[in-house]
Structure 1
Amino acid sequence: MHIDLSGRTVLITGATGELGRVMARTLANCGANLVIHYLQNEAKAKQLKEETEKLGVQAVMVQADITNEQSVFRMKEQAEHAMEKIDIVVANAVIQYEWTTILNQSPQDYESQFQSCILQNVYLAKAFVPGMIDRKYGRIIGINTECSMLNNSNQSAYVAGKRGMDGLYRVLAKEVGEHQITVNQVAPGWTISDRDRKNGTVQRSEYEAGVPLRRRGEDQDIANTVAFLASDLAGFITGAYIPVCGGNIMPAI
């Protein structure tokens, strides 16, 4: 048994980010063609395109502001012009901001999280789901976070945005399920990325002590889960929120 995405095309928003790059490489290794979304980092997008094309797949770069509906629809037109159809959408992009207490957090930070966690997914659904309905096939995969369940101090804007995203995804799963479109979320823990490897911050003992597996996950762990959900192996899974965090959160029935 192996994951084969040959003949499928995947759009990854925020593909040049720490997790997005590993997702792109992993999905390309599974045979998927790629639409590499970026906002500003064209150089990194170009590097990722060249790297994944060496794996024998097609890849195109598309610049877009995922918080702007017109920009998302332009991305759709460019992506479908290059690739004809988009089978799988991975919503990975998120706006970064400085975390602080609710009393000190700027209202604009709450707005930014609403835009990138909720409206991004509304625009992506409006742009790409109609084509999936026509083809009776599709995968929508959103990157959520363990923070949605931890509700730790100083995370209110991020948690509010991602919890809203969770509700949106569950409703969308019910609305499009009859068309054989699955809608799922991956919720990473505090994940090791290239930034940690470069900065020597791989070990975080204060965090690891509370994780049942007593370690942090790797970016590859997140990418592996995305690849599984993108594949036919997960064809009967929808509406799921899947933690990839070593048991740091455990959703209850």
Structure 2
Amino acid sequence: MKIDFTGKVAVVTGATGELGRVIARTLAENGADLALHYHSNEAKAVELKSEIEALGRRVVIVKADVTKQDSIEALKETVVSSVGHVDIVVANAVVQYKWTSVLEQPAEDYASQFESCVMQSVYLAKAFIPAMIEKKAGRFIGINTECSMQNFPTQSAYVSGKRGMDGVYRVLAKEVGEHQITVNQVAPGWTISERERTNGIAESENYIQQVPLKRRGTDQEIANAVAFLASDLASFITGAYIPVSGGNVMPTI
């Protein structure tokens, strides 16, 4: 069995982020042409574009605000005119903020998480799924988090946004399944990224002791799960929330 995205176009939001870069590279390495979304880091987007073009792929970089519908619609128009209709959507972007308790968390942080988790997904669906329906094929993948199952102190804004996102994906999976479009979520644990490899891996012994596999996962392992769900190997999987956390969280039946 082999993953082959030759002839497919994928859009990755937050593609200049630590995880987004690895997801984009992995899809490209398996044959996909890429639309790389960025919000502010144009230099990193240009660098990543060059890397992926060196693999022989078509690439377009697009600046957009994923919390605004008109910006997502403009992104779609740019992508379609540059590299064609999109077969794979990966909703990876999220607004960053400082975590604190419910009583101290500013209200605007809850709004930002709702907008970047829930509404981003809604806007991306409205923009890209109609063309997938016409083609009777498509992959719609969201990056969730193990935090959605943990509900630990200081996680409230993040968890509320991601749990809301989960609801959208489960309903969407049922609404578009008849068109052979799959809708799934990958939920990373605390992941080792390029930044940590460069600057030193954070102390994590207490975390690791809770993980059955006794280690932290890597950005590549998250990207591998995304690639699997985007591939024909996962053609009968939809509506799934899949933790990639070494067993640190386990959905129950």
Q: TM-score, normalising length from structure 2?
A: 0.99
Distance (Å, rounded) in 1 between the aligned partners of 2:202 and 2:88: 31
Residue 248 of structure 2 aligns to a residue whose secondary structure is coil
Distance (Å, rounded) in 1 between the aligned partners of 2:136 and 2:66: 25
Distance (Å, rounded) in 2 between the aligned partners of 1:108 and 1:79: 31
Matches within 5 A, 1:103-118: 103-118=103-118
- Residue in 2 aligned with 1:209? 209
Distance (Å, rounded) in 2 between the aligned partners of 1:179 and 1:168: 17
Matches within 5 A, 1:133-212: 133-212=133-212
Distance (Å, rounded) in 1 between the aligned partners of 2:29 and 2:109: 36
Q: Which runs of 4+ in 1 moved over 3 A?
A: none
- Residue in 2 aligned with 1:233? 233
Q: Which amino acid aligns with 2:54?
A: K
Deviations 1:108-165 (A, max 9, x none): 0000000000000000000001000011111000000000000000000000000000
Q: Which amino acid aligns with 2:57?
A: V
Q: Does residue 5 in structure 1 map to residue 5 in structure 2? A: yes
- Residue in 1 aligned with 2:58? 58
Distance (Å, rounded) in 1 between the aligned partners of 2:132 and 2:42: 28
Distance (Å, rounded) in 2 between the aligned partners of 1:21 and 1:186: 16
- Residue in 2 aligned with 1:222? 222
Residue 184 of structure 2 aligns to a residue whose secondary structure is strand
Distance (Å, rounded) in 2 between the aligned partners of 1:41 and 1:129: 27
Q: Which amino acid aligns with 2:112?
A: S
Deviations 1:21-40 (A, max 9, x none): 00011100000000000011
Deviations 1:26-67 (A, max 9, x none): 100000000000011111000000001111111110110000
Distance (Å, rounded) in 1 between the aligned partners of 2:202 and 2:105: 28
Matches within 5 A, 1:13-24: 13-24=13-24
2:9 and 2:84 in contact (8 A); partners too: no
Q: Does residue 119 in structure 1 map to residue 127 in structure 2? A: no
Q: Which amino acid aligns with 2:148?
A: S
Q: TM-score, normalising length from structure 1?
A: 0.99
- Residue in 2 aligned with 1:29? 29
2:33 and 2:59 in contact (8 A); partners too: yes
My pick for the range that moved more, 110-119 or 53-62, is 53-62
Q: Which amino acid aligns with 1:19?
A: L
Distance (Å, rounded) in 2 between the aligned partners of 1:84 and 1:11: 11
Matches within 5 A, 1:96-107: 96-107=96-107
Q: CA deviation at 1:202?
A: 4.9
Residue 183 of structure 1 aligns to a residue whose secondary structure is strand
Residue 191 of structure 2 aligns to a residue whose secondary structure is coil
Q: CA deviation at 1:196?
A: 1.0
My pick for the range that moved more, 18-27 or 195-204, is 195-204
Q: Which amino acid aligns with 2:129?
A: V
